[in-house]
Amino acid sequence: MHCRCGRETMLAFGMCSTCYTLRRQDEENFGGLREAVLERDGYRCRVCDAPGTGKRSIIVHHRVPGRSELRLMISLCRGCHARVHRTKAVLAVMPPLLLELWREQHPEGHDQKTLDFKRTIQPAAAIPLF
Ligand SMILES: [Zn+2]
Ligand SMILES: [Zn+2]
Ligand SMILES: [Zn+2]
């Protein structure tokens, strides 16, 4: 007997322990809707349209922390997800959707943070290879 992922199942519900653990996490963290969100978004990042390359390469992001509702969750690639959660970001180069998601995560004075970031940004220096 094999699990969907190809491993031999050693556990109940027709799943291997890895899949079972992931399923449990999905239920705890996403109300069991993780797959539904990914399916709705076509297993692609909604910001940059990057396709998911592996089962866990696309992250389901909560637009409102702790609220596992379909309309409040969105599929993001690791890169875009990291940018949403990073407290300092270059707002000008963000796609509009990413900017919106970022503002949701950082409601407290994003303009101030932009200024802080610009003050510390350094122009890219040419680094000789040899
Ligand atoms: Zn499995
Ligand atoms: Zn992306
Ligand atoms: Zn997130």
- Whether the per-residue pLDDT at 115 is higher than 50: the answer is no
Distance 89 CA to ligand 2 centre (A): 15
Are 5 and 25 within one domain?
yes
Distance 97 CA to ligand 2 centre (A): 11
Distance 40 CA to ligand 1 centre (A): 23
Mean of the pLDDT values across residues 26-41? 94
- Whether the per-residue pLDDT at 122 is higher than 80: the answer is no
Distance 23 CA to ligand 3 centre (A): 18
Tokens of 89: 């970001």
User: How many angstroms from the chain centroid is the CA of residue 103?
Assistant: 15
**Backbone angle region of 49, left / alpha / beta, with phi > 0 → left and psi within -120 to 50 → alpha:** left
pLDDT the model gives residue 116: 46
pLDDT the model gives residue 123: 53
- Whether the per-residue pLDDT at 57 is higher than 90: the answer is no
Distance 80 CA to ligand 3 centre (A): 9
- Whether the per-residue pLDDT at 47 is higher than 80: the answer is yes
Are 2 and 55 within one domain?
no
pLDDT the model gives residue 22: 87
Three-state DSSP class for 25? helix
- Report how far residue 96's alpha carbon sits from residue 91's, in angstroms, rounded to the nearest whole number: 9
Identify the band that residue 124 occupies on the pLDDT scale cut at 50, 70 and 90: low
Highest averaged pLDDT of the listed ranges 10-24, 32-46, 101-115? 32-46
Are 4 and 49 within one domain?
no
Are 41 and 25 within one domain?
no
Are 43 and 93 within one domain?
yes
Are 44 and 64 within one domain?
yes
Would you say the C-alpha torsion 43, 48, 53, 58 has a positive or negative sign?
A: negative
Question: 77 lies in which domain range?
Answer: 31-117
Whether 129 is covered by a domain: the verdict is: no
Distance 130 CA to ligand 3 centre (A): 40
Average per-residue pLDDT in the chain? 82
Distance 31 CA to ligand 1 centre (A): 20
Distance 7 CA to ligand 2 centre (A): 30
Q: Could you tell me which residue, 24 or 113, shows the higher pLDDT?
A: 24
**Domain total for the chain?**
2
Identify the band that residue 69 occupies on the pLDDT scale cut at 50, 70 and 90: very high
Does the predicted TM-score (pTM) go above 0.85?
no
Whether 103 is covered by a domain: the verdict is: yes
Are 72 and 20 within one domain?
no
pLDDT the model gives residue 80: 93
Distance 85 CA to ligand 3 centre (A): 6
Q: Where are the beta strands (DSSP E) in the chain?
A: 58-62, 73-77
DSSP conformation class of 32: T
Distance 46 CA to ligand 2 centre (A): 7
